[in-house]
Amino acid sequence: MEIQSPNTRRLGYLTAFAAGAVGLALEIIAGRLMAPFFGQSLVVWAGVISAVLLAVTAGSLVGGRMADGGFAVRGGYRYIPLAAALVASVTVIPFYRLLGVIFSGHTLSLALFTALLLLALGVFSLPVLVLATLLPMITRMLSAGRTDTGTVIGRVYAVNTLGSIAGAVSAALLLVPLAGLTWSVYIVESSLTLVSAVLVLAGDRPGGIASALLVSAAAAVVLSIIPWSCGDAADSAALSFDTPYNRVMIYRDADTIALSVNDPHFVQSIQYLDDEVRLDVWHLYLLGPALLEHGGTGRALFLGYGAGTAATLYRRHYPAMDLTGIELDPGMVRAGRKYLGDRSGARVIIGDARSALCVLSERFDVIVSDVFRFPYMPHHTATVEYFRLIRGRLARDGVLVYNCGRYDEDDTLSRGIARSIAAVFPHVQVLPLGRFNTMIFASRRSLAAVRPPSPRMAPLAVYYNARSRPFTPERGGEIFRDDRPVTEHLVHIMGMRYMIDEAFR
């Protein structure tokens, strides 16, 4: 078997790099494509990673058989990137659109939800399976007639790994935030088509007119998918776009402008087009200053600033307060100012809420912690270590207001969080709200009752005084700590109960 020419070796390594880059880019994109329907929990990401690795395993086995059959040496590997592009064009975005239709306005049974999750993992990993056939073929081709096979294998896998790094970084920092999910997939497909074109036309054995026509026809098929699948899976959104961290969807009706993150069924931030005081999470945050001895003055810190709903309400009802917000996603802050009318004038720091607590030097009279993105919250913002950091940034008699989730009478998660807060603060009040939220108020001083700072906020005070209860931790109850992340597990149990209940309702 003859040794390949330098030109063929260069093209082989280029292909290995491209396969790694596209494979990891598709993995990142697949996780974001699934987020509006299945969330972004560790379970979902573990599923995405496992599905991709299974696809790589299957593709490697198939590619090895093809390599031994002479497919690579005869130049067949040149069409594999094109095949992957074709598979992606007829599966990824069309199935993403189909999921949008299925999930739109429907509550799914646990069995159907699980089946769709597994099917999505399989569909989104199909292009990776095709690409995975490349490495055995390239390795076989480049090592033909050589005695340093180990060196060749090492180089191929090193180049492929470097491509994976480039693909992950490009998808996370460039493609998704700048081009959006749909166009990110098209850019990936076009890149694969281009790689095949280069391999066919620039190789030692050019494919000729027939091969060029084949590549052109396949490119036309890929591009033909764009017109009918270029829309968003969340068709009812007035506007949707991707940030480095989230898929943001904005909805408008006669009374509100609402912002959802990843899952269109749950509102993350909202702007009411009137000044009415409502019994919802954002308005109940207004009770924080009302529980202070000096009323609506001093400083307030919002951990999980979002699009600025709570800060806007604070500015309206407590104009003398100094406001600071911490938000991980700068796109959320921009969306709030551009589309939701955030005019709070708050100082917003971009970063992780817990990390920011470690570097802030000021003390605050009220700290609102709302890093709860239904149904999940980062575990490191629900532990006793987190609440100790908050206590260190609160004024002597300051108040913590914390929002977390529950499902009807299942308050296992909220009780665990309240128990962890009670390990740090001597006074804790728990206020249930609707079916899915629990508000927790904590301080070094008693919070048993609140006086409304203005007649307009009287309904909030009445609700708090009637429904809030002092929290007494049970003996032996678990306190959440950094080294044992249990919040997602508890959320999954609640989610399964919810889907089972809805299926039999």
382, pLDDT greater than 60:
yes
Q: Could you say which DSSP state residue 447 is in? A: -
Structure tokens at 86: 């074709």
376, pLDDT greater than 60:
yes
Structure tokens at 140: 């076989």
- The residue among 229, 263, 283 that closes a domain is 229
Structure tokens at 330: 């700068």
Residue 258, domain member (yes or no): no
Residues 489 and 494: their CA atoms lie apart, in Å, by: 9
Closest CA to 113 of 26, 223, 12, 34: 34
Residue 261, domain member (yes or no): no
Strand partners, 239: 250
Residues 107 and 109: their CA atoms lie apart, in Å, by: 7
Same domain, 310 and 389: yes
39, pLDDT greater than 90:
no
For position 229, what pLDDT does the model report? Answer: 47
- The residue among 229, 246, 266 that closes a domain is 229
Same domain, 413 and 488: yes
For position 177, what pLDDT does the model report? Answer: 77
Highest mean pLDDT among 99-103, 148-152, 315-319, 452-456: 315-319
For position 436, what pLDDT does the model report? Answer: 84
357, pLDDT greater than 80:
yes
For position 321, what pLDDT does the model report? Answer: 94
Residue 378, domain member (yes or no): yes
Closest CA to 29 of 97, 119, 92, 116: 92
Same domain, 328 and 407: yes
Residues 502 and 282: their CA atoms lie apart, in Å, by: 27
Residues 359 and 456: their CA atoms lie apart, in Å, by: 37
Residues 425 and 414: their CA atoms lie apart, in Å, by: 16
**For residue range 464-498, what is the model confidence (pLDDT) as tens digits?**
999 999 999 888 888 889 888 777 777 777 777 77
Structure tokens at 324: 């600071």
For position 74, what pLDDT does the model report? Answer: 63
For position 346, what pLDDT does the model report? Answer: 94
268, pLDDT greater than 60:
yes
Task: Count the Cβ atoms, other than its own, within 10 Å of residue 224.
Answer: 11
**Cis link prior to 459 (omega < 30° from 0)?**
no
Same domain, 222 and 310: no
| Burial classification of residue 256, based on how many CB atoms lie within 10 Å of its CB (0-12 exposed, 13-18 middle, 19 or more buried) | middle
Number of domains in the chain: 2
For position 213, what pLDDT does the model report? Answer: 56
- The residue among 174, 202, 229 that closes a domain is 229
Percent of the chain with pLDDT over 90: 38
For position 217, what pLDDT does the model report? Answer: 58
Same domain, 82 and 200: yes
Same domain, 66 and 163: yes
For position 44, what pLDDT does the model report? Answer: 84
Let me know: does 100 contact 65? Beta carbons within 8 Å: no
**If you average pLDDT over residues 345-371, what whole number do you get?**
92
Structure tokens at 243: 């940030």
Residues 268 and 282: their CA atoms lie apart, in Å, by: 10
Task: Note down the domain range covering 426.
Answer: 275-504
Same domain, 165 and 106: yes
**For residue range 110-167, what is the model confidence (pLDDT) as tens digits?**
788 888 999 999 999 999 999 999 999 889 888 877 778 889 899 999 999 999 999 9
Residues 503 and 110: their CA atoms lie apart, in Å, by: 8
- Looking at residue 427, which CATH number applies to its domain? 3.40.50.150
For position 16, what pLDDT does the model report? Answer: 92
Residues 354 and 351: their CA atoms lie apart, in Å, by: 9
Residues ≥6 apart with Cβ < 8 Å to 323: 299, 300, 302, 311, 314, 315, 344, 345, 346, 347
Same domain, 38 and 186: yes
Let me know: does 382 contact 404? Beta carbons within 8 Å: yes
Closest CA to 24 of 138, 133, 172: 172
290, pLDDT greater than 60:
yes
Same domain, 303 and 212: no
Same domain, 308 and 202: no
Same domain, 490 and 370: yes
Task: Count the Cβ atoms, other than its own, within 10 Å of residue 478.
Answer: 13
Residue 290, domain member (yes or no): yes
Residue 270, domain member (yes or no): no
Closest CA to 48 of 123, 133, 131: 123
76, pLDDT greater than 90:
no
Task: Count the Cβ atoms, other than its own, within 10 Å of residue 3.
Answer: 12
Residues 37 and 340: their CA atoms lie apart, in Å, by: 24
Q: Could you say which DSSP state residue 411 is in? A: -
Let me know: does 49 contact 31? Beta carbons within 8 Å: no
- Looking at residue 172, which CATH number applies to its domain? 1.20.1250
Same domain, 33 and 181: yes
52, pLDDT greater than 60:
yes
**If you average pLDDT over residues 59-77, what whole number do you get?**
81
Handedness of CA 386, 296, 434, 273 (dihedral sign): negative
1, pLDDT greater than 60:
no
For position 503, what pLDDT does the model report? Answer: 63
For position 54, what pLDDT does the model report? Answer: 95
Residue 469, domain member (yes or no): yes
At 3, the pLDDT band (50, 70, 90 cuts) reads low
Output the average pLDDT for the chain: 84
Let me know: does 376 contact 488? Beta carbons within 8 Å: yes
Its pTM stands at 0.76
Span of 96-105, 151-160, 207-216, 425-434 with lowest mean pLDDT: 207-216
For position 228, what pLDDT does the model report? Answer: 45
For position 216, what pLDDT does the model report? Answer: 61
For position 476, what pLDDT does the model report? Answer: 80
At 199, the pLDDT band (50, 70, 90 cuts) reads confident
**For residue range 292-314, what is the model confidence (pLDDT) as tens digits?**
987 777 999 999 999 999 999 99
Task: Count the Cβ atoms, other than its own, within 10 Å of residue 294.
Answer: 10
At 212, the pLDDT band (50, 70, 90 cuts) reads low
Residue 331, domain member (yes or no): yes
Residues 218 and 221: their CA atoms lie apart, in Å, by: 5
Strand partners, 257: 252, 271
For position 366, what pLDDT does the model report? Answer: 96
Residue 257, domain member (yes or no): no
